[in-house]
Amino acid sequence: MKKQSSYEGLQKNVRSLKTPEIEVWKNRYPDKAYTINLDIPEFTCICPKTGLPDFARIRIEYSPAKYCIELKSLKMYTIFYRNIGIFHEHLANKMLEDFVKAAKPRWARIIAEFNPRGGITTTVMREYKK
**Which residue is catalytic, options 31, 39, 45, 47?**
47
Q: Is 45 a catalytic residue?
A: no
Cα–Cα distance, 69 to 101 (Å, whole number) = 11
**Which residue is catalytic, options 45, 54, 68, 98?**
54
Q: Is 31 a catalytic residue?
A: no
- Residues designated catalytic: 47, 54
